[in-house]
């Protein structure tokens, strides 16, 4: 066996960039997940449910692609449940105690104390799981950018299997009841641009960007001399995640040379450039 020696030149970053949190006022709707547990006469659990249904009971919840929602986990059970939303990053807003007996009797949420602000490790941060304590309404806010079928569930295996898991669908809808677009006072989170896949690329580069709201975007490719090689899109796009591909050709369809290229995403309020390298 060969004795390999090397020097590790890696340097720890002095700080991390944490993307800004969502403004709660930008939520288009609030969706409740009522968490219940059924017990037998001896107090043994017969199962746990979300909105009084199990996983196999079909899907009731459709979330508009690109929209933001506040989700409330309303925990009427005796236990803490770590609630997960699959493939969605959210901010934890707060947890508020409520009268469980009253809720069970009338269906009304009556709060019994002020909202409790999350501890520092949960505040202004990105999570995919929230601890939902018993007798509390736990609120999270997320933007639903990836179309498809997903689940929200308790992350304790014995709970999710018995039956604390529900599906939901993220898809474009014609729902305009929330007005669409931005809410007054909301600071827009500018679009983010990424090149997907291996770098340097051969053949086709996949470029993805997301926008918070419907707006005009221009996505172009420039060469290292600053000349525009190709415009990939120049028009109005809907809120959500979009992906485009660049096949290494210019406006006339000719293959361009190997080398570094710059993808530039421009909106009325922002401009962002990332580098990509084409190999022939
Ligand atoms: Cu649980």
> What ranges do the domains of the chain cover?
24-171, 192-278
Q: What are the distances in angstroms from CA 3 to CA 6, 9, 10, 246, 269?
A: 10, 19, 21, 44, 55
Report how far ligand 1's centroid is from the alpha carbon of 48 (Å).
8
Euclidean distance between CA atoms 140 and 94, whole angstroms? 7
192-278 — its CATH code? 2.60.40.4070
Report how far ligand 1's centroid is from the alpha carbon of 81 (Å).
4
Which residues have a Cβ under 8 Å from the Cβ of 123 and sit 6 or more positions away? 92, 117
Report how far ligand 1's centroid is from the alpha carbon of 165 (Å).
10
The conformational region for residue 100 under phi > 0 = left, psi -120 to 50 = alpha, else beta, is alpha
Report how far ligand 1's centroid is from the alpha carbon of 34 (Å).
13
Mind listing the pLDDT tens digit for each residue in 161-219?
999 999 998 877 644 444 344 444 444 455 667 666 677 888 888 887 777 667 889 99
Kindly report which listed range (54-58, 92-96, 184-188, 206-210) carries the lowest average pLDDT score. Answer: 184-188
Percent of the chain with pLDDT over 70: 88
Tokens matching residue 25? 């006022």
Report how far ligand 1's centroid is from the alpha carbon of 151 (Å).
14
Euclidean distance between CA atoms 264 and 267, whole angstroms? 10
Report how far ligand 1's centroid is from the alpha carbon of 41 (Å).
21
When pLDDT is averaged across residues 235-244 and rounded to a whole number, the result is 80
Report how far ligand 1's centroid is from the alpha carbon of 119 (Å).
21
Kindly report which listed range (2-6, 150-154, 274-278) carries the lowest average pLDDT score. Answer: 2-6
Kindly report which listed range (17-26, 240-249, 269-278) carries the lowest average pLDDT score. Answer: 17-26
In this prediction, residue 175 carries a pLDDT of 47
- Whether 88 has a pLDDT exceeding 80, the answer reads yes
Euclidean distance between CA atoms 27 and 5, whole angstroms? 54
Euclidean distance between CA atoms 150 and 262, whole angstroms? 34
Mind listing the pLDDT tens digit for each residue in 98-133?
999 999 999 999 999 999 999 999 988 889 999 999
Q: Is 28 in contact with 147 (CB distance < 8 Å)?
A: no
Report how far ligand 1's centroid is from the alpha carbon of 196 (Å).
35
> Which has more pLDDT, 188 or 44?
44
Euclidean distance between CA atoms 263 and 233, whole angstroms? 11
Report how far ligand 1's centroid is from the alpha carbon of 44 (Å).
15
Report how far ligand 1's centroid is from the alpha carbon of 193 (Å).
37
As its CATH architecture, domain 24-171 has Sandwich (2.60)
Q: Is the link from the previous residue into 76 a cis peptide, with omega within 30 of 0? A: no
Report how far ligand 1's centroid is from the alpha carbon of 80 (Å).
6
In this prediction, residue 233 carries a pLDDT of 93
Q: Do domains 24-171 and 192-278 have the same CATH topology?
A: yes
3-state secondary structure of 194: strand
Report how far ligand 1's centroid is from the alpha carbon of 31 (Å).
19
Report how far ligand 1's centroid is from the alpha carbon of 234 (Å).
47
């Amino acid at each position: 066996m060969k004795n390999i020696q090397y020097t590790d030149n890696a340097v720890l970053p002095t700080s991390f960039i944490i993307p800004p949190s969502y403004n709660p006022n930008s939520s288009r709707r609030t969706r409740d997940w009522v968490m219940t547990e059924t017990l037998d006469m001896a107090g043994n659990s017969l199962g746990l449910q979300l909105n009084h249904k199990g996983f196999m009971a079909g899907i009731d919840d459709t979330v508009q692609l690109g929209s933001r929602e506040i989700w409330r986990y309303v925990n009427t059970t005796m236990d803490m449940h770590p609630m997960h939303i699959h493939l969605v990053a959210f901010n934890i807003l707060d947890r508020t105690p409520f009268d469980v007996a009253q809720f069970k009797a009338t269906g009304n949420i009556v709060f019994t104390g002020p909202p409790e602000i999350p501890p520092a490790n949960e505040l202004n941060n990105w999570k995919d799981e929230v601890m939902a304590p018993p007798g509390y309404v736990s609120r999270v806010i997320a933007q639903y950018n990836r179309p498809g079928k997903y689940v929200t569930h308790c992350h304790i295996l014995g709970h999710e299997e018995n039956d604390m898991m529900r599906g939901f669908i993220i898809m474009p809808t014609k729902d305009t009841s929330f007005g669409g677009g931005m809410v007054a006072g909301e600071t827009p989170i500018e679009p983010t641009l990424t090149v997907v896949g291996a770098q340097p690329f051969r053949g086709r580069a996949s470029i993805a960007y997301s926008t918070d709201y419907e707006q005009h975007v221009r996505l172009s490719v420039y060469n290292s001399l600053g000349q525009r090689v190709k415009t990939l899109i120049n028009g109005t796009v809907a809120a959500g995640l979009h992906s485009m591909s660049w096949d290494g050709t210019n406006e006339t369809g000719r293959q361009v040379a190997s080398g570094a290229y710059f993808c530039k995403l421009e909106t009325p309020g922002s401009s962002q450039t990332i580098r990509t390298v084409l190999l022939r």
